[in-house]
Structure formats: structure tokens, C-alpha cells
Amino acid sequence: MRRGVMLLFLPLLLSFGLFPQTSEAANWEKERMYFIMVDRFENGKTSNDIDVNKDDPKAYHGGDLAGVTKRLDYIKDEGFTSIWLTPVFKNRPNGYHGYWTEDYYEIDPHFGTKEEFKTLVDEAHERDIKVVLDLVVNHLGPNHPLVEKKPDWFHEEQPIMNWNNQVEVENNWLFDLPDFNTENPEVVDYLVDVANYWVDETGIDGYRLDTVRHVPPAFWKKFIPAVKEKHPDLFLLGEVFDGDPRKIATYSELGFDSVTNFPFYYGIKDQFARKNGSAEELDSVYNRDITFNPKAMSLATFIDNHDLKRFITEAKIGGTSDEERQLRLALFALYAAPGMPVVYQGTEVAMPGGEDPGNRMMMEFDENEKMQEYVKTLNQMRQDYPAFATGKQRLLGKTDHMAVYARESKNQTAIYAINLGEKKTTMRIKASEIGDDQRLRGLLFSDLVRQDGDAYEITLDGSSANGYILEDSQVNWWSLVAIGSIAPILALILLLVHRRRVNRSNEKQ
Ligand SMILES: [Ca+2]
Ligand SMILES: [Ca+2]
């Protein structure tokens, strides 16, 4: 009987899209990542608050691994599928950010213990959240004693003076940080062991590799295969702090699963953190990625992070009339465009902040319900309609300030429209672009666009955006018929089940 019920309802459930679409292989562009600066997120335990001074922006503020674990439900509820944590290894003094490694094999006591880290990973996995850990292989923390003990493990101490000289960028010291001589095979083996150790020990799902462009490509050509040999599914995200998409593409080729898309960041900031951004410029941002990088879809996209001014502050500098509205618009672009969206803690509550340390203030939870709901909706949009994650992007039309794109995957076409201008705008998309007898169903706010002659007419208020799913307009009638049939079918089934139970209990008696 139960099987019969399922079979009866199956076409109905499928037509309503109640089953998640899992036809495409699992891959990282489907992830929606939340970036956490451990010391500045949540203080889960005060017993590890060593040298905490909240009045000093360069001191420890008390955040820890127990705090992250405590907030996993919040992260899940917002709709994220993975987290990236700033480094948690034992640091040199004042390394609250985690990037000044002292000991790769110990957890920093401010952040907790190995056990607490394992608990975090286990608890995250229970909620289907993947954990990506920040790892620095370019340098150690300042004044590290290893420099004297093993001088051939480090490049000669000289600061980077000419940032356009790649040899200097790779081999000189970043500020006063001891720079690993990765030409030495012992160093390569050491760093590969570190990477494998934490995966074996805790079951983390990947690494976000810091300062990738400061390490010679020859190192990555050894490191990536060596780590993947033991952990083929491990996700490796390289941070390449560079605005040139051609440069980003050269690192994609080295074998990273994903690379940070700084060109996308600069493009979005330039067009969204001001009034009346240009659709032409926005389109050229997308085009450059696709032209130069065959792996453009896998790049990690973002609108701010701990090394950049927060978006709200950029929008203020850009002279916009409503910074939060611009933030929502930029977040929409982040989720609708190709790439793996990464959201920095606090962006979902519209935290302001200038350059470091202004962009690293303690996380303020529950400060902006409207923004949190908006981010949740965007995460849901990508979850429910995978074409936004995996579909090929195609421009359907643009005016001065408004652009409309299709994201086309094998089984689904999603469409999105962004109006960067302050005026309400209507655009007509030719039916020849997306086919006749279709309809566009609005996802962020209800808007049903039907064919009008030889086009579909999309209207957006000033500084607003919407995502749509393309549907056969015929489906609607069948759905209505189906909805009308649910009640009598359900009643019939319940009646049959009831009768069967009555019969069975009669038989037993
Ligand atoms: Ca603490
Ligand atoms: Ca280096």
C-alpha cells in the first residue's frame, strides 16, 4: 500500500519540485561558504581568555573553537553549506588572526584544544557543513626560533620592495615574516605532512591556502599532488590576491580546486558601491573571467573579507543613498553569478568597517534581521535552483544600468535581472533568446513574467534585483489540475488505509 501511495504521488511531487535536484555531480561551486575569523566570532569559553583585551583591536578578543561549534546551528539556519576558519595553530605572540604560525602541530590555547577542534568538525559534519581550514605555507610568525635552527629552510631576510617583481614577491620576506625556502625538498615534505596530519586527525574537508602568489608555482606543483594522493577529495582553495583575471587563471591551472576571484570582487565593488553602476562594466567583469579562465565557474567569489574594507563602508565612501540596499544588491550578484559564494562573518548583518583592524571587529549576532533573512533567501535560491550554481551564464540583454542573464544547466534555466540604476526600468527580452510559451517565475519577490508578443518584459524598481526560474507556461494548467486532484485522492487513500487497518484488527480478533 505504502509503495502504491508513493508511486501515485511521485509525478505530483516532481512537478512541484519538492524533491531536491541531484542530477548533477556534487562539486564545490555548489557550496555556499561562510568565512569565520575565529578570535572575532564567538567566545564559547572564558577559561581560555588569555591576554584578552577587547579595547585593543590588535589583541585577542576571546573568540574560540567552542564558540564556532556553539554557532553552527545559526550558520546552518542561514543556509551555508561550509565554513572556512582562519588558522587555528599555535601562534607567535599577538597572533590573534592566526597567520603567525609558531607550531603547526598544536592548536593555539586561545582557541581551544585538539579535542575541541575535532568536536567542531564532527558537529559541523552532523549538520552537513564542510570545514575548510586556513593554512599558511609561505611564512612563519615573526622572530621564529626555527630560522636560526634551520637556516636553509628559509629565504634570505630581505623585504619585498617591488611588488611587481614576481621573484621578489615569491622569495623575499612579507614584512618581517620568515619566508620558507620551498626549493628545499625537506620544506616541501614538512608542509605536506602538516596538511595530511590535520585531515587524518580531524577529518576536515579542505584547506584555504594563504598567500599563494608569494610561493613559487614549483612548490604548488609538488604540494597539491602530494596532498591529493592521500586525500583525493580534499578541497584546495588558493588565495591569490590579484585583480588580473589572467594571473588568477595561471593559478587555476596549477591544480587548485578553486582560487579567490579578486577581479570579481573589484568589479562588484566598483559597480555596486556607488549610485547608478554600469551594466556594461558589470558584463565585462563576467566576460573577463570566462575569457581568461576555463575554470571560472569554480572560483571563490566574495564582496568583502578580512583584508578589505567591508562592503557597507565602501558603499558609504561611494556616496550611495542607501548602503544596505546596495549591499543586498551586491550579495544578489554574488549568489546569482557563476562562482562559489563566500560570505565573511558580519556581512549578513551589514557590519561596517574600514581597513584592518576596522574590518575585524567582534561579530554582532542578531543585529539586523532583515539582512539575515535576505542572505537566507539567497542561500535558499541557490539550494532550490542549482542552475544558479552550475549553469552556464549568458547575457540576454542590457541597458545603461540594467542587465539580464540566463544561467543554463542541463535540466534547468534560471534567469536573473539586476537594476543598478536608481530609476525603475523595463527591459524586453526577445522570445527567440529563451523560447516561446515560457514564463519567468520570480523567486525573491513574486513576479510572473509571461510572453508578450515576441518578447518577455521584465520590470525592476531602481536598485533592485530578482531571480527567476524559466518554466513552460503549459505546466501551470497541469499543476492546477493536479492541485485540484490532491484532496479527493488523499481522502480516498486515507479511507483505504483506514479500511485495511479495520479489517486487519478484525482478523486479529
Ligand atoms: Ca574564549
Ligand atoms: Ca615566499
DSSP assignment letter at 138:
S
Phi, psi (rounded to 5 degrees) for 144: -70, 130
Architecture of domain 24-385: Alpha-Beta Barrel (3.20)
- 158-193 in b/e form (b: 16+ CB < 10 A) is eebeeeeeeebbbbbbeeebbbbbbeeeebbeebbe
Which ligand minimizes its atom distance to the CA of 219? 2
**How far apart are the CA of 191 and the centre of ligand 2, in A?**
13
Q: What is the pLDDT of residue 505?
A: 62
Q: How much is the pLDDT for 466?
A: 98
Give me the pLDDT at residue 408, please. Answer: 97
Among the listed residues 31, 239, 289, 348, the single catalytic one is: 239
Q: How far apart are CA 271 and CA 262, in angstroms?
A: 14
For 393-472, CATH gives 2.60.40.1180
Smallest CA-to-CA distance from 267 within 244, 249, 297 is with 244
- The count of other CB atoms within 10 Å of the CB of residue 254 is 18
42 catalytic per annotation: no
Residue 24 is predicted with a pLDDT of 35
Dihedral sign for Cα atoms in the order 206, 200, 191, 220: negative
pLDDT in tens, the chain (509 residues): 444 444 444 444 443 433 333 333 348 989 999 999 999 999 999 999 999 999 999 999 999 999 999 999 999 999 999 999 999 999 999 999 999 999 999 999 999 999 999 999 999 999 999 999 999 999 999 999 999 999 999 999 999 999 999 999 999 999 999 999 999 999 999 999 999 999 999 999 999 999 999 999 999 999 999 999 999 999 999 999 999 999 999 999 999 999 999 999 999 999 999 999 999 999 999 999 989 999 999 999 999 999 999 999 999 999 998 999 999 999 999 999 999 999 999 999 999 999 999 999 999 998 899 999 999 999 999 999 999 999 999 999 999 999 999 999 999 999 999 999 999 999 999 999 999 999 999 999 999 999 999 999 999 999 999 999 999 987 555 666 666 777 777 777 778 777 777 666 665 54
* CA terminus-to-terminus distance, the chain: 22
What angle is formed at CA 143 by the lines to CA 140 and CA 144, rounded to 5 degrees? 50
Distance of CA 203 from the midpoint of ligand 1 (Å): 23
Supply 504's cell numbers: 486487519
CA of 45 to the centre of ligand 1 (A): 4
The phi, psi pair for 470, rounded to 5°, reads -85, 125
For 378, residues 6+ apart whose C-beta sits below 8 A from its C-beta are 79, 331, 332, 334, 335
Catalytic residue among 31, 210, 289, 323: 210
Amino acid letter, 36: I
Residue (of 260, 231, 287, 258) closest to 27 by Cα position: 258
Alpha carbons 317 and 404: distance in angstroms, whole number? 27
CA 290 to ligand 1 center in whole angstroms:
44
Q: Which residues touch 124 (CB under 8 Å, ≥6 apart)?
A: 69, 72, 83, 130, 131
Amino acid at the residue 498: H
Ligand index nearest the alpha carbon of residue 52: 1
Å from CA of 67 to ligand 1 middle: 8
Query: What pTM was estimated for this model as a whole?
Result: 0.89
HEC readout, 230-254:
HCCCCEEEECCCCCCHHHHHHHHCC
Q: Which three cell numbers stand for residue 189?
A: 615534505
Helix runs in 385-470, H state only:
387-390, 431-434
Q: Would you state the pLDDT for residue 493?
A: 76
Domain locations along the chain: 24-385, 393-472, 476-508
Residue 202 in contact with residue 188, Cβ under 8 Å?
no
**Has 148 been annotated as catalytic?**
no
- CA-to-CA distance for 228 and 206, rounded, in angstroms? 11
CA 64 to ligand 1 centroid distance, Å: 5
The answer to whether 34 touches 346, Cβ cutoff 8 Å, is: no
* Ligand number, closest to the Cα atom of 48: 1
In this prediction, residue 1 carries a pLDDT of 40
